[in-house]
A and B are shown apart, each in its own frame.
Chain A
Amino acid sequence: SQQGEEDPQALSIQEGENATMNCSYKTSINNLQWYRQNSGRGLVHLILIRSNEREKHSGRLRVTLDTSKKSSSLLITASRAADTASYFCATGNQAGTALIFGKGTTLSVSS
């Protein structure tokens, strides 16, 4: 089934640095979403970018979408220890009735 794949699998940075994680997907999409998961908790929606958008911002988050390359990136600027979490991209299934998630990028921000 259609699935996003995040890269890298794990990322370790210092507080104040920027964190960039990438997502590649296989087929055409209507939109792509990013979610965050703190250890042992449920996922929280961060941002949605539509297929006709190239960039979107929300606070310290910046998401880009390149439909020609079937890829998206999530940039977290000025990272904080509280940003430590796993980040997932998600796209719709073929019917557009459910989300399919990638395996995620685990971000560790040390102070």
Chain B
Amino acid sequence: DGGITQSPKYLFRKEGQNVTLSCEQNLNHDAMYWYRQDPGQGLRLIYYSQIVNDFQKGDIAEGYSVSREKKESFPLTVTSAQKNPTAFYLCASSIVGGSMGANVLTFGAGSRLTVL
């Protein structure tokens, strides 16, 4: 089955620690995205990548870092510089362009990060 796998599903972190969230897709999609979701805030874009070895900042990139060494993988590191990292993190992927015009996203199941 094609899809997006996020891991871990739940993660606990002590303050001051960096953590990396995994996102893997086997949909052969070129573009991948990371969103953060807080209660009542909707989804906010952290980083996205349209091609291997290239990525762009979204609206809330501060305190986060990403890499895109392989088409299938787009890990997100939540650094100690992120002041309020407790949230639900969603990874998504899409084709680039296509007949529908733009960016119909396929989402993973999410990773819930809690800072203790």
| Chain A residues close to B by CB (< 8 Å) | 1, 30-31, 33, 35, 40-45, 48, 50, 88, 90, 92-93, 96-104
Q: Most B CB atoms within 10 A — which of A35, A88, A92, A97?
A: A97
Knowing A42-B110, A44-B107, say if A31 contacts B102 (CB, 8 Å). Answer: yes
B 95-116 to A, binary, CB cutoff 8 A, 1 in contact else 0: 0000011111111111010000
Total chain B interface residues with beta-carbon distance under 8 A: 30
A101 with B102: CB separation less than 8 A: no
Dominant SS among interface residues on chain B: strand
A88 with B90: CB separation less than 8 A: no
B2 shortest CB reach to chain A, Å:
14
Q: Which residues of A contact B112 (CB under 8 A)?
A: 40
Q: Which residues of B contact A103 (CB under 8 A)?
A: 40-42
11 interchain pairs, CB-CB under 8 A: A1-B45, A40-B112, A42-B110, A90-B105, A93-B45, A96-B102, A97-B31, A98-B45, A100-B45, A101-B43, A104-B42
Cβ 8 A contact of A48, one of B31, B33, B43, B100: B100
* Cβ of B74 under 8 Å from chain A: no
Q: How far apart sit A79 and B102, CA to CA, in the bound complex (Å)? A: 29
